[in-house]
Chain A
Amino acid sequence: MRTGLIALKNIAFQVFREQWKNRFFQLIIIFGGLIIYAALLLGAMAVEQEERVLTDFGLGLIDFVGLAAVVFGCATAILRDIETKTIYLILSRPVPRWSYLCGKYAGIMLTVAAAIAAMGAVHCSLLLLKGFRPGGVYFACLGAAWLKTCLMGGLTVLVSLISTSLLSSVVISVVFWTLGHFLAEVRFIADHMGGVAGLLLKPFLYLVPNMAVFDMKDALSAVPPVHAGAGAVLGYCALYVSVCMAYSIWLFRKKEF
């Protein structure tokens, strides 16, 4: 166990370094930073609601960039190691397979956390420049955005081990993301749907994560604010990720290279 944890830590930090060197990843972050400043135009058009528009735009973009980074990172993490045969150099060593998988995941989540923090800093600087002061709710939203990406990361790792290509991994992950924002409605439709379609859809929906749990921005805007609570959000994220990683480990144990 101890060896596994040490290997996990080493792999995680290596992934972190690798991701930050990745040109595509760098472009995503730079693009995000530029767009945040481009939001100044939108804010100017909003006049009296400038603070709201700038905040919503920035948080929305951070969410979106986080999704892009995590789906791309997790979908390519293991695939790339297999294609370049780097995985031979790792798994031929006393590195338990669960440790390798979890190390990859942890490295990407560390990277995304740093990216969200960087973009959050850029966004905060913009808000402060305009004379607005982001409060505790803002940082809660950033935290929730990261937890959302953690969940998507676990799901994408699992999907990447099941699917046959990078494209299908990304597409399936994004489908889950979007369905997760409509889950209550889709469930309602499934409950009233008959036939084969209903029989297939209902069990499938048990796999889709409920993204409403992580929508802090919307939850805290409601009057009165209603949200699941930090503990519930953390717990749900941890459970979903645990299940995804457990099945990933199960699949990965059988994988040959």
Chain B
Amino acid sequence: MAVSQKRILTGKYFAIFLAILTALFLGIQHGVSGYRLNYPQASEIKSLPGTEMEDMAFLSLGLRRLGADINFIRLMQYYGSNEGAGDEMSEYSVYGLAPVVAADYEGGKYPELYARAVHVFSLDPYFRFAVLYASGALAFNLNRPEEALNLLYMARRYSPNDLRYNTYIAAIGFSKSNDPEKTADLLDTVIAEPDCPSMVKQLAAFLNKRIKRYKRAYEIYMDLYLNSKDPGYVKNSGEQMIKLMPVLRREGIPVPPLPPSVQNGK
């Protein structure tokens, strides 16, 4: 008798094996299907107007970190752009806080900054650099401490053991209560970390300069000049060090000499 269809279809031992394997599989699937990483879920993503599809695409392809990176680049480009004068409220101020009129430090108001930062955060709440960058800009450049604190509190919920967030929160608190020395002291502990944004270091240097801690300001500018990857900050640090040199000499404060490239005006 040939290998008939009946015999192929029976294969009872294989059927039993399949049944056992299926039961095991369904049991494991029941347990595993609830497993998720501690990230905001799809419904918790704070998409910007027009980015909803893009965000879902990033999530559905398992590329949320890349999504956060790309949107952080956009945030930096936005913050790096010049804004015209104008008082109009942006549609981005939907997260509960109207933007406070900004200080003239960087010449603009950047009403979308907070919303963009929250967007990046919701894609990757462990993107520490982005949180520190945005909260630093909001608190110390744009005089919007409440938005900065909101961002830091959200970040701290996901990373409760990250002391940097606590330090920032404290620094902002002291800044709000007009205690620049305490603010500078706290920022000093933060800028020693390897992933501290150059912008925050520059803020710390500026603050130290304002409270006449010229040597500390010089040291931070030197660190920025030698280690920052952002050519804008490198250039500015060089210029600031040149400006500080006469002050330091006048005060009799010994500091390392200017790097040759700074002296040569490069």
Instruction: Give CA–CA (A222, B161) in the complex, Å.
Output: 12
Instruction: Give CA–CA (A173, B239) in the complex, Å.
Output: 58
Asked if residues B24 and A212 are in contact (CB atoms below 8 Å), the reply is no
Report if A48-B197 is in contact (Cβ < 8 Å); known contacts: A206-B30, A210-B32: yes
**Does A80 have its Cβ within 8 Å of any Cβ on chain B?**
no
The segment from B63-71, B89-97, B104-112, B173-181 that touches chain A is: B63-71
Report if A254-B37 is in contact (Cβ < 8 Å); known contacts: A46-B69, A53-B73, A240-B25: no
Report if A45-B17 is in contact (Cβ < 8 Å); known contacts: A181-B62, A210-B32, A223-B162: no
Instruction: Give CA–CA (A249, B11) in the complex, Å.
Output: 12
Closest to B232 in A: A47
**Does A187 have its Cβ within 8 Å of any Cβ on chain B?**
yes
Report if A183-B33 is in contact (Cβ < 8 Å); known contacts: A49-B72, A222-B39: yes
**Does B60 have its Cβ within 8 Å of any Cβ on chain A?**
yes
Asked if residues A56 and B65 are in contact (CB atoms below 8 Å), the reply is yes
**Does A211 have its Cβ within 8 Å of any Cβ on chain B?**
yes
Number of interface residues of B (CB under 8 A): 52
Asked if residues A56 and B66 are in contact (CB atoms below 8 Å), the reply is yes
**Does B150 have its Cβ within 8 Å of any Cβ on chain A?**
no
CB distance from B3 to the nearest CB of A (A): 10
**Does A137 have its Cβ within 8 Å of any Cβ on chain B?**
no
Asked if residues B33 and A187 are in contact (CB atoms below 8 Å), the reply is yes
> Top 4 closest A-B pairs, CB basis?
A178-B60, A184-B36, A223-B159, A60-B66
Asked if residues B161 and A213 are in contact (CB atoms below 8 Å), the reply is no
CB distance from B56 to the nearest CB of A (A): 9
Instruction: Give CA–CA (A224, B38) in the complex, Å.
Output: 10
Which residues on B sit within 8 Å (CB–CB) of A224?
Answer: 161
| Binary CB contact string for chain B from 150 to 172 against chain A (1 if under 8 A, 0 otherwise) | 00000000110110000000000
| Binary CB contact string for chain A from 94 to 124 against chain B (1 if under 8 A, 0 otherwise) | 0000000000000000000000000000000
**Does B228 have its Cβ within 8 Å of any Cβ on chain A?**
yes
Instruction: Give CA–CA (A185, B34) in the complex, Å.
Output: 9
**Cβ < 8 Å to B, chain A residues 142-196:** 178, 181-185, 187
A-B contacts besides A56-B66, A187-B33, 13 pairs, CB < 8 Å: A49-B72, A60-B61, A60-B65, A185-B42, A185-B43, A211-B62, A218-B64, A221-B65, A222-B158, A223-B161, A242-B21, A246-B17, A250-B11
**Does B264 have its Cβ within 8 Å of any Cβ on chain A?**
no
Closest to A175 in B: B60
**Cβ < 8 Å to A, chain B residues 38-76:** 38-39, 41-43, 59-66, 69-70, 72-73, 76
Instruction: Give CA–CA (A218, B41) in the complex, Å.
Output: 13
**Does A24 have its Cβ within 8 Å of any Cβ on chain B?**
no
Which residues on B sit within 8 Å (CB–CB) of A38?
Answer: none
| Binary CB contact string for chain A from 216 to 245 against chain B (1 if under 8 A, 0 otherwise) | 011101111010100000001001101100
Which residues on A sit within 8 Å (CB–CB) of B261?
Answer: none
Instruction: Give CA–CA (A236, B36) in the complex, Å.
Output: 14
CB distance from A148 to the nearest CB of B (A): 8
| Binary CB contact string for chain A from 12 to 37 against chain B (1 if under 8 A, 0 otherwise) | 00000000000000000000000000
CB distance from A122 to the nearest CB of B (A): 18
Instruction: Give CA–CA (A178, B9) in the complex, Å.
Output: 34
Which residues on A sit within 8 Å (CB–CB) of B22?
Answer: 243
Name the residue among A57, A181, A208 with the largest chain B CB count within 10 angstroms: A181
Asked if residues A221 and B124 are in contact (CB atoms below 8 Å), the reply is yes
Instruction: Give CA–CA (A116, B17) in the complex, Å.
Output: 34
Q: Which of B25, B33, B62, B65 contacts A243 (CB 8 A)?
A: B25
Asked if residues B65 and A217 are in contact (CB atoms below 8 Å), the reply is yes
Closest to A180 in B: B62
Report if A63-B62 is in contact (Cβ < 8 Å); known contacts: A184-B35, A218-B39, A226-B37: yes
Instruction: Give CA–CA (A68, B5) in the complex, Å.
Output: 36
**Does A133 have its Cβ within 8 Å of any Cβ on chain B?**
no
Asked if residues A49 and B129 are in contact (CB atoms below 8 Å), the reply is yes
Asked if residues A47 and B76 are in contact (CB atoms below 8 Å), the reply is yes
Which residues on A sit within 8 Å (CB–CB) of B64?
Answer: 218
Which residues on B sit within 8 Å (CB–CB) of A85?
Answer: none
CB distance from A25 to the nearest CB of B (A): 20
CB distance from A229 to the nearest CB of B (A): 11
Asked if residues A46 and B33 are in contact (CB atoms below 8 Å), the reply is no
Which residues on B sit within 8 Å (CB–CB) of A183?
Answer: 33, 36
Asked if residues B228 and A48 are in contact (CB atoms below 8 Å), the reply is yes
| Binary CB contact string for chain A from 49 to 85 against chain B (1 if under 8 A, 0 otherwise) | 1101100110010011000000000000000000000
Instruction: Give CA–CA (A159, B31) in the complex, Å.
Output: 24
**Does B29 have its Cβ within 8 Å of any Cβ on chain A?**
yes
16 pairs, CB–CB < 8 Å, chain A vs chain B: A48-B197, A48-B230, A49-B72, A49-B129, A60-B66, A64-B61, A64-B63, A181-B62, A187-B34, A206-B29, A221-B65, A221-B124, A222-B158, A223-B159, A223-B162, A250-B18
